[in-house]
Amino acid sequence: MAIQFNFVSSMLILVLLSISSVEGQGGGGGGVIDVVAKFGAKADEKTDLSKPLLDAWKEACASTSPSKIVIPKGIYFLSTATLDGPCKAPIELQVQGTVKAPADPGAFKEPKWIAFNRIENFKLSGGGVFDGQGTTAYKREGCKGHDYCGSLPINLRFDFLTNAMIQDITTKDSKQFQANVLGCKNITFEHFTVSAPDESPNTDGIHIGRSDGVNVLNSEIKTGDDCVSIGDGSKNLVINGVTCGPGHGISIGSLGLFKNEEPVDGVTVKNCTMTNTSNGVRIKTWPGAEPGTCSNIHFEDITVTNVSSPITIDQKYCPWNKCKINEESKVKLSNISFKNIHGTSARPEAVKIICSATLPCENVELADIEITHSGPTGPAVSQCSNVKPKVSGKQNPAACSAPIPAKPTPTA
């Protein structure tokens, strides 16, 4: 993993150097394209940025030399935009201002606001903000507690990108996921900021699916759902230096709900901090349902503060009782480690590893766990089912020492 990560990083640096050298380049187009100066965009919060942005993208995409599109400082209104590739040369979109979405969820015909599609050698940067204005959507009936709100727009979609860097960008108050990564290869989020209130439903910070080589580095995520959620087909992921809270922690899954899910293989979560979250690090799969595999997962050097469920494998994941709770999960989990995880738990169940009875977890490791809980219900406990973990170093609570209750506490 480390060798691959370094190679990917080196390739990205070379790409980004070529992008950052666009100023002053001549033939074949390229150079700096200012959406205000060249295409008449207005930072008045009412004139739609869509046409100027798409016109700038069309010019940049046709250029045979690297281009940089600039959205200058100011507050802009953008109805929707899909920026399509393939393009002839690297492109950087530098957002210096704040771009606002329509507040009314009914303004969207598709579940997306801004989408980047089938682009190679792309950078999104500039310190700007994408504001989804999702407050009204959070109160929409049917979105809290029993529905996915799937028709609501995602702030930023990254679909089928190759060699991309998302750096120094903020997404806030999306009506659904903040950022969605699908079918990408070698994409890095660095100094990526997510901001949404704790009560915002289904607003995962970054959702990753069917992508190879995704890095989430040195980022701050505050939201109402998973800070990072990892879906099927995800391979070679590195999540390092992420601070999470509020939110539901960093989660793999849920897996096993749909037919033909692809394996999850190779995820490293390291040097992360969870504060006041409902979960810390977690793998969740549905009981019954469909088969799948999840392997080579490593959680290391994690700090938890007042986290309800710091360490979780939940193969009985059943939100809102929408599953076959009496059946066993068909997702096979193997080669999983939890190392140097320390801090405080908001509930007694600091460690909860509930595996499938028909496909027990294999090669699970618990090393140097130090999680305390103080409250009327007693000290922290460690619960295990259908797993025999390898244990080393300090174990507080003692590994797998507590019985599993008849009805385990459900996870969000």
Catalytic residue (one of 146, 207, 248, 298): 248
Q: Do 345 and 371 touch, CB atoms closer than 8 A?
A: yes
Of the chain, the end-to-end C-alpha distance in Å amounts to 30
248 among known catalytic residues:
yes
* C-alpha span between 283 and 267 (Å, rounded): 11
Query: E strands along 23-176, which residues?
Result: 31-34, 67-71, 75-77, 81-84, 91-95, 98-100, 112-117, 120-125, 129-131, 154-159, 162-172
Closest CA to 70 of 60, 81, 83, 84: 60
Contact by Cβ (8 Å): 185, 208: no
DSSP 8-29: HHHHHHHHHHHHHT-TT--SSS
- Torsion angles phi and psi, residue 143, rounded to 5: -95, -20
Task: Kindly report the length of the chain.
Answer: 412
Chain centroid offset of residue 245 CA? 13
Compute how many other C-beta atoms are within 10 angstroms of the C-beta atom of residue 199: 12
C-beta of residue 342 within 8 angstroms of C-beta of residue 373 = no
Residues marked active site are found at 248
